[in-house]
Amino acid sequence: MGQASPQSVGKVAVVYGGNSAEREVSLKSGAAVLEALQRKGVDAYGYDPRDNGLVGLAQLAPSTVFVALHGRGGEDGTLQGALELLDIPYTGSGVLASALGMDKQRTKQVWSAVGLPTPESVMLAASADWSAVVAQLGLPLIVKPVHEGSTLGISIVKSQAALEAAYHEASQFDARVMAERFVVGEEYTVALLGDQVLPAIRVEVPGGFYDYEAKYIANTTQYHLPCGLPSEQEAALAVLCQQAFMAIGGEGWGRVDVMRDSEGRFWLLEVNTVPGMTDHSLVPQAAAHAGIAFDDLVLQILNTASEPFTA
């Protein structure tokens, strides 16, 4: 879309809510985005596809869609594919990158294929040889649903006896479950906005695990900005995250989560193609540290909306 005045972008539908397990977070993100756009003078309105689906969205005939749907049905390429067919420009990554980013295992396979560092992982099944998994990945390890976000269904496993229970917990959220080598160290997250890499954030949680409660509920989670890395290491982290985002075909904006081990090596965990925009969210914090106010951030994201391939 390029840079445009708020009045010239036409009707903007902020699509949020939906039916995924991240619905409540999406409602908060969408409401914050909608209010910001309206404060900027954009003709914006909210739309929850749980009400009337794609038919209702098409009837509204927006000029652009601001995608604020987290999780399946909004962040996994399905909405993006529908908008391509409807010939409606939208924010964020396209069909391929959205689908890849939602699939943690295949994202890691792409990163490994291009030589980017990511912790070793294996797929799990009810019939898995649990002792073999532990022998391969070591302890502790982390078990997670392949297609969920917001750390839903994730467990840190510290003993072989706990592994099977962790698998069954994760399988309540997704038919595909993975185990991953747990990197002990510091957690960082890096937001990308267009061609710009925003300042890295170091996330510190008193309990040691950045889970759903730490992300959205607790007030004890600490977000370190600046992140505390020497400038050359933070620059290297920025390059790594930009490479990781580009490797899956990411566009517009996104966020990459990374661990740094005791030897100072960075390990890519996952990519978020529709990051949260709540008051606890990380992209707005990084933008603010870079001098970008929340309303301006939202408008910049809107201005990265790309035309569909069918246009």
167-172 average pLDDT score: 92
For residues 183 and 204, give the distance between their C-alpha atoms in angstroms, rounded to a whole number: 15
Position 174 scores a pLDDT of: 87
Chain segment 121-147, per-residue pLDDT in tens = 999 999 999 999 999 999 999 999 998
Bridge partners (DSSP) of residue 178 are 123, 144
Average pLDDT over all residues of the chain = 90
Q: What is the pLDDT of residue 310?
A: 43
Annotated catalytic residues are 22, 150, 216, 255, 257, 270, 272, 276
At 153, is the pLDDT very low, low, confident or very high (cuts 50, 70, 90)? confident
Please tell me whether the peptide bond between 145 and the residue prior to it is cis, using omega within 30 degrees of 0: no
Quote the pTM value.
Answer: 0.90
Specify the pLDDT at position 217.
45
pLDDT at 215: 46
- C-beta of residue 274 within 8 angstroms of C-beta of residue 253: no
182 CB contacts (<8 Å, ≥6 apart)? 119, 137, 139, 140, 141, 142, 156
> What pLDDT digit, counting tens, does each position of 26-42 carry?
999 999 999 999 999 99
Q: So what's the pLDDT on residue 8?
A: 73
Q: Render pLDDT for 62-98 as a digit per residue (tens, 0 to 9).
A: 999 999 999 888 999 999 999 999 999 999 999 999 9
pLDDT computed for residue 221 by the predictor: 80
Residues in CB range of 224: below 8 A, 6 or more apart:
201, 202, 203, 204
Interior/surface letters 21-41, b for 16+ CB within 10 angstroms, e for the rest: bbbebbbbbbbbbbbbbbebe
Question: Residue 209: which pLDDT band, with cuts at 50, 70 and 90?
Answer: low
Confidence of residue 3 (pLDDT cuts 50, 70, 90): low
Residue 236: per-residue pLDDT: 98
